[in-house]
Structure 1
């Protein structure tokens, strides 16, 4: 994989990026690549949904080490579908919060039905998030953070 600086000329005007079909078992840190390569990015959407119709898809776990002192100056919205309250996901969201200066809103949504098979994979189905659990997740994400980002969980 190229270094983000090598692709900045190509990605410099991107304002919206949507990444779909990310397998839930994989680490998300590689997606920081797009923040580093696209300085004008304002809206970043990730979908961690996996359905029965994608079981035959080739799975490749990309390993990426984000730059240590990187700060993104324009990202305003991070939206994640297929959100699960697990350490690797909350650590990733905290990493994005730390590396963005203007982040205003984070939207975390459960899994949506697949457009191809019109079903939610029963292996990844999770119960609806109640208000107490939403509050705990928000507290966990905001813990020791100076960010005033609005966090929406549905």
Structure 2
């Protein structure tokens, strides 16, 4: 059973930008995003932020097409670092007009230590992989991933899938998180990130770019690495 959406907009033809944020607990049953957005058909910028917690929307794709029919930028933030990212393509499938797809991975040792202390385990998304029936219609031009983890095969697979399926894709931007966390810094020496350190050397970046382009003959997609100290285009 899924709970009712926490709010309903009704007919809101002037609503262009929407930011939804929630840190849902494990017992949160999720709600229908299409139900919440029913009547909001003019949104061009949508951000969903899960704050590293359980996904609080139920699996949907085609049901969102009416709400997503004019969407230009879709941001999905706060996805726990060990979660599969392929589920997000369900939302992209429903929004072929999206030009910028912005993913932000969540990895905060300060909260992980708390979760371990109270015995909380992360729950992987149970969404099925979509069939990419509309990929030829995708207008996607830019894929952004903040806190990209090069050692997480799930992250690599996600980028390859999008690169392979989006015919108009021009740029993939892999970014290091530039926002400091006071609680993480207060812990002292931090453990190495689950997915490895962000690639900063030219050799690391070139190797990673080659791995992402494997089996993509003639790919013209630019891969940009944005670390705290530099920006490199490959």
With the length of structure 1 as denominator, give the TM-score of the two structures.
0.85
Answer with 1 or 2: which has the greater Rg. 2
Aligned pairs for 1:98-137 (under 5 A) are 98-114=164-180, 117=183, 119=185, 122-123=190-191, 124=193, 126=197, 129-137=200-208
Higher helix share: 1
CA-to-partner distance for each residue in 1:89-133, whole Å, 9 max, x for gaps? Answer: 111100011121110100001233346747499332726520011
Instruction: Identify unmatched segments of 5+ residues in structure 2.
Output: 1-57, 227-234
> Which residue in the other structure is 2:125 paired with?
62
CA distance in 1, matches of 2:171, 2:73: 15
CA distance in 1, matches of 2:184, 2:173: 23
CA distance in 2, matches of 1:69, 1:128: 34
CA distance in 1, matches of 2:143, 2:167: 13
**Comparing 17-26 and 51-60, the one that deviates more:** 51-60
> Which residue in the other structure is 1:77 paired with?
142
Length, aligned pairs only: 154
Give 1:49 shift. Answer: 2.6
RMSD: 2.5
Kept in 1: contact 2:138–2:166 (CA 8 A) = yes
CA distance in 2, matches of 1:120, 1:152: 31
* Counterpart selection for 1:145 from 216, 219, 222: 216
> Which residue in the other structure is 1:11 paired with?
68
- Runs of 4+ residues over 4 Å off in structure 1: 114-121
Instruction: Identify unmatched segments of 5+ residues in structure 1.
Output: none
Give 1:3 shift. Answer: 3.6
With the length of structure 2 as denominator, give the TM-score of the two structures.
0.58
Higher relative contact order (CA 8 A, sep 6+): 1
